[in-house]
Structure 1
């Protein structure tokens, strides 16, 4: 994860796409703009899911087994889904880098927090 975060920082600098630190107003505008771009990319992930569900439905209506139909639909959107998820990751990395957050440390810390959280919806069986 450290490699990808470092790559993203250098890439963003080379492309002139880093979040502005020139002034509060420019930082605020840049943060909001990048947040809007991130949410747009998340919506594009949803669009790929919608496409997969519609493909699956069409295949089932034409007689294909549901599981096979969904596997085919997943395969057909795989490349575009990867691109959209990569766009999301790129924007997220901008925020990690702007705020000086170590992606790897933050990720593992959060996963540990979730693991240890008492989730009222999750019932674990004791062995």
Structure 2
């Protein structure tokens, strides 16, 4: 994770895509712009999911077994899904880097916090 975070920091600097630190107003505008861009990318992930669900329904309608239909649909959106998730990650890394947050440390600390929650959701089997 550290390598990815460092790569993103250097890449964003080379491309001139860092979040501005010139002034409060520029930082605020840059943070809001990047947040809007992130939410746009998250919506594009939703579009890929929608595509997979529509493909699955179409295949099932044409007689394919549901599990096989969904596997085929997942395979068909896999490349675009990877691109959209990578876009999301790139924007998230901008925020990590702007605020000087260590991605790896933050991730593992949060997972430990979730693991130890008293009010966590119970996982129910769908089988």
Q: Smaller-chain TM-score range?
A: over 0.9
Distance 1:28 1:6 in 2: 23
* Mean Cα deviation higher: 13-22 or 112-121: 112-121
After TM superposition, which residue ranges in structure 1, 4 or more long, deviate above 6 angstroms? none
* Alpha-carbon separation, structure 1, partners of 2:120 and 2:44: 32
SS at match of 1:77: helix
Structure 1 distance, partners of 2:16, 2:97, is: 14
User: Cα distance, 1:122 vs. partner?
Assistant: 1.8
Kept in 1: contact 2:44–2:84 (CA 8 A): yes
Distance 1:120 1:14 in 2: 42
Q: Deviations over 1:64-118 (max 9, x none)?
A: 0000000000000000000000000000000000000000000000000000001
CA distance in 2, matches of 1:75, 1:108: 30
1:70-85 alignment to 2 at 5 Å? 70-85=70-85
Cα distance in 2 for partners of 1:96, 1:49 equals: 26
What is the RMSD computed on CA atoms of the aligned residues? 0.9
Measure, in 2, the Cα distance between the counterparts of 1:24 and 1:84. 30
- For these two proteins, the number of residue pairs brought into alignment is 123
Query: TM-score, normalising length from structure 2?
Result: 0.95
CA distance in 1, matches of 2:121, 2:113: 16
Q: Could you list the runs of 5+ residues in structure 1 that have no partner in the other structure?
A: none
Whole-Å Cα distance in 2 between the matches of residues 2 and 71 of structure 1? 33
Counterpart in the other structure of 1:97: 97
Q: Secondary structure at the match of 1:118?
A: coil
2:25 corresponding residue in structure 1: 25
Deviation at residue 120 of structure 1 after TM alignment: 5.2
Q: CA deviation at 1:7?
A: 0.1
